[in-house]
Amino acid sequence: MYLPRSLIAQLYQNLTKRNHAAAPPVLLLVALEPDALCACRILTALLRRDYVPHKIQPIAGYGDLSRAADGLIRPMRTTHGGSGGVVVCLGVGGMVDLEEIFGMEVDEAGNGGTGGVEVWLMDARRPWNLSNVFGTPVAQDPATGDWVRKRAGVEKARLQKNYNSSKGGIIVFDDGDIEEELESERQAYCALEEMPELGEEAESDDEGEQGHEHDQEHNAEADEPPSGQAPKKRKSWSGAEDSDEDMSDDERPAQRRRSNSGASIPSTPERRPPRRGLMILGGSSDFSRSDSRSRSTSPAVAAPKEQSIKGLRRQLMAMREKHDKTLQKYYDQGASYSEPVSSLVYSLASELGREDNDLLWNAIVGVSSLELYGRTGSGVGLNPLSAAGGSAGWNGDRGERIRSVLRDEVRRLNPVDIKDLAREATMGDSTGVIPTSARSATDKSIRLSPEPRFLLLRHWSLYESMQHSPYLSARLHLWNESGKRRLDKLLAKMGLSLAQSKQYYTHMDMDLKKGLRERLLRFAPMYGLDGLVPPAPRGGDSKDGWGFVRCWGWKACLSAIDTGVILGAILEVGDAKSLSASSLDSFNFVGTQDHSEQALDSSTEAQDRITARFYTAYDALADIDTLTAHISTAQHLHKAILRTGTALIEKKQIRHLKAFRMAVVKEGPDVQLFTHSGALTKLALWVAEAIVEQNGTKGRNRGSELVMAGLDERQGRYVVVGLGGGGATESAKERIAKREKKNREREQKKAAKNAERERKRQARIARLEAAGLEEDEVEDSEEEESEDDDESEDEEDVSKSGRNRFGNAFQEVVRETGARVRMDSFEACVIEIKKEDLSGFLERLSMKAVVG
């Protein structure tokens, strides 16, 4: 079931009405990523204000999700002695069948069910598992006693205002995409759910009969009745033959497959098989006739021929195949990202009238963090380049609309005091100077800032910030000496000495800091750095492309991107105190103890480490001291990315395969850092951007598809991430020119169609006048309607092309090669594979289509 965006606050309000002292706590399952972490912060703030008890459980992957289902969710169900409750999934489980994982299905004996557990699902990953979106829990009809998929207040899986949210089930929070884009999938899924089930044996019999009838076609022509009656059937079908018992296990699609190593592998979601008792085409009585021949009431006029049971079955199978193709087409499009979870939860707070600066800041950080991990509308890959500066163009126009709403919220919740207007004019805040300090000791406001595409600018020197910026390092080729000299020349043209640029940015000369943005706007285009900083405001208070900054008095001043960088580093690296040169000794694979004991200890330690990192990052969102203490952690990670990426390019360790490029990190001082999928993804994005810039955007190797593998020697495995899609191989100017060209071609095509239509209309009018008749309006209207349909096809949205299909390709290769693979990450394009199986896996993968 899904909750429309217009009713986003309904479930929460029902929860607060049902809340009491003995109510079970709300369970929050939170993914280990900054976006879900920020959404958790917003939601827990709402729950605390309404005195709703809750508890948080960090979820690292599907293994953790299964353990939470057994240890936390199962005891909540009324069928297991619990009292029901609410489970909120933030960034967790949108691509798998949660009803199956949580054990909420009903078997043939009527056992199981939701048990009063209601699951709220909020996830930005796509494609949805449509069983979560359009599936309705099975309930027993009190009148007939049959198990049916019907519930009051639910219309074709869409929740209505009169829905009673105390019966349990999976409820997906719609960010607008389900209602706007998935109507055909909704119709197909609901039709499949209402169809009667056809056994595999019956289908094979029907196929055999079709072949047998084809062989006897000529013999049957002589005996066929002249009145058009159907020939006598060889076999009758009874309603008992259409029951669930005839279904084979192979016909029921499995939502989770297992690899050779026994690890659970979530597969590409498929439709849930229809349940018994839901029939169409008149019910089971239509399938129980023993004689389908019609009776002719007159020897001269034959009665209409009644359709045979075989014909009905074939028609049903054709309809099912058509709907199956619709759903499979949706799943085969590849991975993508929609609205961030933090933005969706902030919308909930806004509907409740609970907005404040803390909640707004959490939403801004969550939204900004997505571009750090390359999460775009085309899946995990390079972000499309933006000419507006600041943001990297996350999620195209939709991402910019979300940021525009957040900028409006900043202006609304942070009005500028009259006494500060003069100060802003003096300091240059209103004209584009990058703020580095608060207005007062108690200032905790959020401001708009023309953030350049530098990394941790306020906490590094200008030189180091520029050097570690993925955008800048890729375009200046900072991995070699000529690139470093190019950076020195850029600074020299801007009038900045190396001594000034290598000191702490906040200690730089004030005049230099005030003029930095204007100098970048003037000299950056000379080096191909268009959009390095946002342009000046256009028309009033419009500040497109500007970022967000928040200060905590005199303690600190951080941008939203920098905060997301720090939170990500905490989740991926851990505590900065452990990042000494000697700390790598703990990662060396030394045979000081038994391997089995070491594996057991490592799994326990890994779980403790994950939990500790999650709560450290969770606390850092509300404690500025904790956040600033981990700035060094983020700096350490990005220094390692620059070192490792430079080494891969200089040593020419990036191979070109048929469908993508490949790089393997298996040596060096930082190899253990990149056993975490998040850190490895950041390295892959850095390398992919550098390769695209190095090879240009034309020719055979223009794509940004890249497979990056990081060796975990201790576990004897590789962590593999696949980047693809995004359209980032085009510059902003190229994309604008292509869009304008396409619009011109569409207008020319439309004008040509209109001219041709008018010519045909005039010719038809001339023919009618010559015959003394009036113009046929009906024919004209039908022609206009067909033309409108052609135009709508011309304007079909092509934004879904080029999506990341590495997740689909990974599963296909696993089935073909039998490689020992563990797919535990919520990212479909991230897997873990045994060392010995990597080469054969990649060889087979190079033959697959990795971008849809």
The alpha carbon of residue 811 and the mean position of all alpha carbons in its chain are separated, in whole angstroms, by 18
Per-residue pLDDT, 792: 39
Handedness of CA 598, 601, 604, 607 (dihedral sign): negative
Please state, in angstroms and rounded to a whole number, the distance separating the CA atoms of residues 87 and 27: 5
Per-residue pLDDT, 789: 45
Listed in sequence order, the DSSP H helices in 555-594 are 560-572
The DSSP H or E segment spanning 108 is: none
Please state, in angstroms and rounded to a whole number, the distance separating the CA atoms of residues 564 and 370: 9
Q: Residue 614 in contact with residue 358, Cβ under 8 Å?
A: no
**DSSP letter (8 states) at residue 152:** T
DSSP codes, 74-90: GGGSGGGT---EEEEEE
Q: Residue 205 in contact with residue 236, Cβ under 8 Å?
A: no
Please state, in angstroms and rounded to a whole number, the distance separating the CA atoms of residues 538 and 546: 12
Per-residue pLDDT, 647: 93
Peptide bond before 127: cis, by omega within 30 degrees of 0? yes
Please state, in angstroms and rounded to a whole number, the distance separating the CA atoms of residues 505 and 512: 10
DSSP codes, 728-772: TTS-HHHHHHHHHHHHHHHHHHHHHHHHHHHHHHHHHHHHHHHTT
In angstroms, the Cα distances linking 782 to 777, 786, 787, 788 are 9, 6, 9, 10
Q: Which residues of the chain have pLDDT under 50?
A: 201-202, 210-302, 428, 580-601, 697-701, 727-732, 776-800
Residue whose entry in the numeric block shows the structure tokens 């008149």:
282
Interacting residues of 291 by C-beta distance below 8 A, sequence separation 6+: 233, 236
The alpha carbon of residue 609 and the mean position of all alpha carbons in its chain are separated, in whole angstroms, by 26
Please state, in angstroms and rounded to a whole number, the distance separating the CA atoms of residues 94 and 388: 32
Q: Which amino acid is at 766?
A: A
Tokens of 585: 């000794």
pTM equals 0.79
R_g (Cα) of the chain, nearest Å: 31
Please state, in angstroms and rounded to a whole number, the distance separating the CA atoms of residues 18 and 564: 36
Tokens of 457: 């600018």
Our CA angle for 634, 637, 643, nearest 5°, is 140
> 148 φ, ψ to 5°?
-130, 160
Interacting residues of 105 by C-beta distance below 8 A, sequence separation 6+: 99, 112, 113, 138
If we measure between CA atoms, which residue out of 116, 143, 120, 127 comes closest to residue 40? 120
Residue whose entry in the numeric block shows the structure tokens 């997740």:
807
Please state, in angstroms and rounded to a whole number, the distance separating the CA atoms of residues 571 and 620: 11
